[in-house]
């Protein structure tokens, strides 16, 4: 039987842990055991290497259970009458063990508090000096205390929490509550040194909202005895989150078992609930998802716009996907938000994902988007003013034609064709969705005018709808300049032909949509046309670049059944994105009316919202606005 067991949860502690163990190694006696629980570190901790030999150290390796699980393992495996926890990146003095053993002999205790302070002069500074054995610490940390095993009893750390498990543990044992009796003592000497300069520490990640555990704050001026729903809600939140209740009076004493109760003060939290409270600083947790599809500018129509929508439609069943944009048409936002998270880029909010997909060659990787791998999609054939970024992990070309056009710049890339997403809707006779006055389309505008002229000269009646931002001038009355629209598939379905007369196309989304809907195509012979599965005379007609052909053959509209291997393309993407288990926790956001009761500046709207004004926003933002006291639901 040991007198003292020291338990160290370890995960990639590095040099800090070695320094700590070297300090402890100078103090070990037969009364003491030190247990290091390696919580699934990528590189297992070795007690003996060429540089050191900790023969007195017991190392237990386990699958990752986080800090709470590691401490529980240490408790289960330890033998000591007293328990001391030390974090692997902190430090203790050279008298640490002897001073604890002396206190055990002179003043046996249930809980012994220590004076402690920051280790160096960087980061947030702490200095908690206790005057004598009557001193008590205000913080719940288990590392700045020693406990008797009898006092801990069967209590264990909450393994559902990946942060603030000390606060949870303190409420179970009651060592912060002076009204709960225990044998208490304190050591006024500095016994623990906390590293505040450790980058990416657990407490920093907790505050950033990166951990699963969040801080939920409730404010009620008076918690009355009949607020039983609040008790049930806080009890449920306490299973995974840190909960604070700020109130001037609480008439439900039982709440203290499930949260920290305090008089109102300035507090930060990830979510504020209850009554409006202006003294809360709300830290929005980062957006966490498996795949981020980023596009700086998403036009109402175009190959990239269609690619993003179709990609999300096909792959959302396999992955949690978020579309992040800087500029996007409202119709596209509404369309995408019905199937995946669709968020405007905010430089002040961190986004975390496994895979980041960029859609324009000019897109820059934003510093607040944290990813494991990046994918650049090349939607275009080579153009003199553009270059393929070299800092992407994977380059995806949408066609062999596009890849070959870039030469050496794209030789390391792979080819994954675009995916159609067919919707059984109807359309009209001749349809095109092509930008006009666009240099990258070559003589497309000239050919469109020529085709319309040829149809008229041949006496062939037609109605031609062209969906674009700009109008194509000099066309007959039956050529209708339609505004750019997010979804023209109903028109394509009813059309006899989809028309595309560009000099070159990397992989025409409108042609792919038409073929998928079994609508014939009129197109110039750019190389990727045939890569899409087009067959002249079967799925439509090739017209020469010089437009010299018998226009009357168009009266014989081909009828066909088109097959496209979307499953293979999905498989290609899945090999890039890996096997994941999506949470499928996204629920399409419903708009909420919020009436402004105090004027404030709205970052999302980028303007001042005046008192009395009603805005329409998402449920999540409505909670933030109302919770901060700026508005109320209309």
Q: Which of 59-68, 141-150, 195-204, 249-258 has the lowest mean pLDDT?
A: 195-204
β pairing state of 4-10 and 82-85: parallel
> In this predicted structure, what is the pLDDT of residue 438?
83
Write the pLDDT tens digit of every residue in 94-129. Answer: 999 999 999 999 999 999 999 999 887 666 688 899
The SS3 of residue 562 is coil
Overall average pLDDT of the 508-513 stretch: 93
Query: DSSP secondary structure string, 13-50?
Result: -THHHHHHHHHHHTT--TTEEEEEEEES-SS---SB-S
Q: Give the HSE-up count for residue 228: Cα atoms under 13 Å, Cβ half-sphere.
A: 1
pLDDT at position 425 is 45
Separation CA 232–CA 252 (nearest Å):
12
Residues 6+ apart with CB under 8 A from 585: 320
Is residue 309 scored above 50 in pLDDT? yes
Nearest CA to 142 among 116, 178, 121, 103?
A: 116
Q: Count CA atoms within 13 Å of residue 145 on its CB side.
A: 26
Confidence of residue 186 (pLDDT cuts 50, 70, 90): very high
Please check whether residue 277 is in contact with residue 264, taking contact to mean a CB–CB distance below 8 angstroms. yes
pLDDT exceeds cutoff 80 at 320: yes
Lowest-confidence range among 12-16, 384-388, 420-424?
420-424
At residue 181, does pLDDT exceed 80? yes
Q: Contact 550/260 with Cβ under 8 angstroms?
A: no
Q: How far apart are CA 22 and CA 322, in angstroms?
A: 47
**In angstroms, rounded to a whole number, what is the distance separating the alpha carbons of residues 114 and 101?**
14
Top-confidence residue, 435 or 145: 145
The token pair that represents 115 in the structure block? 């004076």
- % of the chain at pLDDT higher than 70: 98
DSSP 315-349: HTTTS-EEEEEEEE-HHHHHHHHTTSEEEE--TTS
pLDDT band at 377 (very low <50, low <70, confident <90, very high): very high
Return all residues near 610 (Cβ < 8 A) that are at least 6 apart.
596, 599
Using an 8 Å Cβ cutoff, are 276 and 248 in contact?
no
pLDDT for 230 = 94
Alpha helices in 238-279 (DSSP H): none
- Confidence band of 619 (pLDDT split at 50, 70, 90): confident
Q: How far is 513 from 420, CA to CA, in rounded Å?
A: 6
> What pLDDT was estimated at residue 121?
64
**pLDDT over threshold 60, residue 428:** no
Indicate whether 384 pLDDT > 80: no
The mean pLDDT of 516-532, rounded to a whole number, is 94
**Mean pLDDT, rounded, for 86-95:** 94
Average pLDDT, the chain: 90
CA distance linking residue 282 with residue 427, whole number of Å:
49
The answer, yes or no, to whether residue 459 has pLDDT greater than 90, is no
Kindly state the average pLDDT of the residues 202-211: 79
The SS3 of residue 100 is helix
**What is the pLDDT, as a whole number, of residue 198?**
63
Long-range contacts made by residues 336-340, C-beta under 8 angstroms, separation at least 24? 336/308, 336/309, 336/312, 337/588, 337/589, 338/588, 339/312, 339/313, 339/588, 340/312, 340/316, 340/586
Q: What is the pLDDT of residue 424?
A: 52
Structure tokens at 522: 């009129």
**pTM: predicted TM-score of the whole model, two decimal places:** 0.57
Beta strands in 211-310 (DSSP E): 215-219, 222-223, 242-246, 249-250, 260-262, 267-269, 271-274, 280-282, 287-288, 291-298
**Contact between 462 and 478 (Cβ < 8 Å):** yes
Nearest to 377 by CA among 304, 328, 309: 304
Most confident of 309-318, 440-449, 452-461, 624-633: 309-318
φ and ψ at 516, to 5 degrees? -65, -35
> Higher confidence at residue 115 or residue 285?
115
Query: Distance between CA atoms of 631 and 612, rounded to whole angstroms?
Result: 9
**Counts for the chain of helices (H) and strands (E), in that order:** 16, 37
Q: Answer yes or no: is pLDDT of 81 > 80.
A: yes
pLDDT surpassing 60 at residue 427: no
Q: For residue 161, which of 115, 114, 222, 202 has the smallest C-alpha distance?
A: 202
Average pLDDT rounded to a whole number, residues 62-77: 94
Q: What is the pLDDT of residues 556-570, one digit of tens each?
A: 899 999 989 999 999
> In this structure, is the dihedral angle defined by the CA atoms of residues 155, 156, 161 and 164, taken in order, positive or negative?
positive
Q: Is the per-residue pLDDT at 140 higher than 50? A: yes
Starting at the edge strand found earlier in the chain, the sheet holding 291-298 runs 341-344, 321-328, 291-298, 355-358, 373-378, 394-397, 414-415
On the question of pLDDT at 493 being above 70, the answer is yes
Question: Quick check: 226 pLDDT over 70?
Answer: yes
Residue 572 CA to chain centroid, in angstroms?
23
Q: Report the range out of 182-186, 332-336, 459-463 with the highest average pLDDT.
A: 182-186
Among residues 16, 18, 185, which one has the least CA distance to residue 105? 185
Q: Which of 200-209, 225-234, 548-557, 570-579 has the lowest mean pLDDT?
A: 200-209
């Amino acid at each position: 039987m040991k007198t003292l067991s020291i338990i160290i949860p370890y995960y990639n502690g590095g040099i800090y842990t070695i320094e700590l163990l070297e300090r402890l190694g100078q103090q070990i006696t037969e009364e003491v055991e030190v247990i290091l629980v390696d919580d699934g570190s990528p590189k297992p901790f070795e007690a003996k290497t060429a540089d050191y030999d900790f023969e007195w150290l017991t190392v237990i390796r386990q699958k990752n259970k986080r800090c709470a699980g590691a401490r529980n393992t240490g408790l289960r495996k330890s033998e000591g009458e007293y328990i001391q926890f030390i974090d692997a990146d902190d430090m203790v003095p050279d008298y640490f063990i002897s001073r604890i053993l002396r206190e055990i002999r002179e003043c046996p205790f249930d809980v012994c508090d220590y004076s402690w302070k920051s280790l160096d002069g960087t980061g947030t500074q702490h200095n908690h000096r206790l005057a004598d054995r009557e001193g008590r610490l205000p913080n719940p940390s288990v590392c700045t205390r020693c406990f008797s095993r009898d006092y801990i009893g069967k209590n264990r750390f909450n393994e559902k929490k990946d942060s603030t498990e000390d606060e949870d543990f303190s409420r179970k044992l009651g060592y912060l509550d002076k009204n709960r009796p225990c044998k208490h003592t304190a050591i006024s000497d500095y016994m623990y040194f906390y590293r505040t300069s450790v980058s990416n520490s657990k407490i920093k990640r907790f505050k950033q909202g990166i951990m699963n555990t969040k801080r939920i704050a409730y404010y009620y001026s008076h918690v009355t005895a009949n607020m039983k729903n609040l008790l049930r809600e806080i009890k449920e939140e306490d299973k995974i989150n840190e909960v604070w209740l700020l109130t001037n009076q609480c008439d439900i004493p039982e709440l203290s078992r499930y949260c920290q109760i305090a008089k109102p003060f300035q507090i930060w939290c990830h979510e504020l609930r209850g009554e409006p409270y202006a003294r809360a600083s709300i830290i929005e947790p980062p957006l966490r998802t498996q795949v981020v599809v980023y596009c700086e500018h998403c036009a109402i129509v175009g190959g990239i716009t269609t690619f993003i929508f179709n990609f999300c439609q096909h792959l959302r069943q396999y992955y949690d996907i978020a579309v992040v944009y800087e500029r996007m048409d409202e119709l596209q936002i509404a369309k995408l938000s019905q199937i995946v998270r669709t968020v405007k880029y905010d430089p002040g909010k961190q986004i975390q994902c496994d895979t980041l997909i960029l859609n324009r060659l000019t897109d820059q990787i934003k510093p607040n988007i944290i990813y494991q791998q990046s994918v650049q999609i090349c939607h275009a054939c080579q153009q003199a003013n553009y270059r393929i970024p070299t800092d992407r992990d994977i380059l995806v070309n949408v066609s062999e034609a596009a890849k070959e056009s870039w030469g050496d710049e794209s030789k390391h890339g792979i080819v994954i064709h675009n995916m159609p997403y067919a919707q059984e809707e109807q359309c009209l006779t001749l349809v095109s969705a092509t930008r006009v006055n666009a240099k990258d389309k070559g003589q497309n505008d000239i050919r469109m005018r020529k085709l319309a002229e040829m149809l008229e000269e041949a006496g062939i009646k037609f109605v031609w709808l062209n969906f674009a931002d700009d109008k194509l001038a000099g066309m007959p009355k039956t050529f209708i300049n339609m505004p750019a629209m997010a979804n023209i598939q109903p028109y394509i379905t009813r059309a006899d032909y989809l028309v595309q007369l560009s000099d070159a196309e990397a992989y025409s989304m409108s042609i792919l949509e038409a073929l998928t809907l079994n609508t014939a195509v009129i197109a110039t012979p750019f190389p990727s046309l045939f890569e899409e599965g087009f067959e002249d005379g079967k799925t439509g007609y090739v017209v020469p670049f010089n437009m010299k052909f018998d226009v009357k053959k168009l009266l014989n509209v081909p009828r066909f059944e088109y097959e496209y291997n979307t499953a293979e393309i999905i498989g290609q993407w899945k090999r890039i994105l890996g096997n994941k288990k999506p949470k499928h926790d996204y629920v399409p956001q419903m708009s909420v009316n919020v009436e402004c009761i105090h004027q404030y500046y709205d970052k999302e709207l980028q303007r001042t919202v005046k008192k009395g004004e009603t805005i329409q926003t998402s449920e999540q933002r409505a909670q933030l606005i109302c919770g901060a006291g700026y508005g109320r639901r209309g």
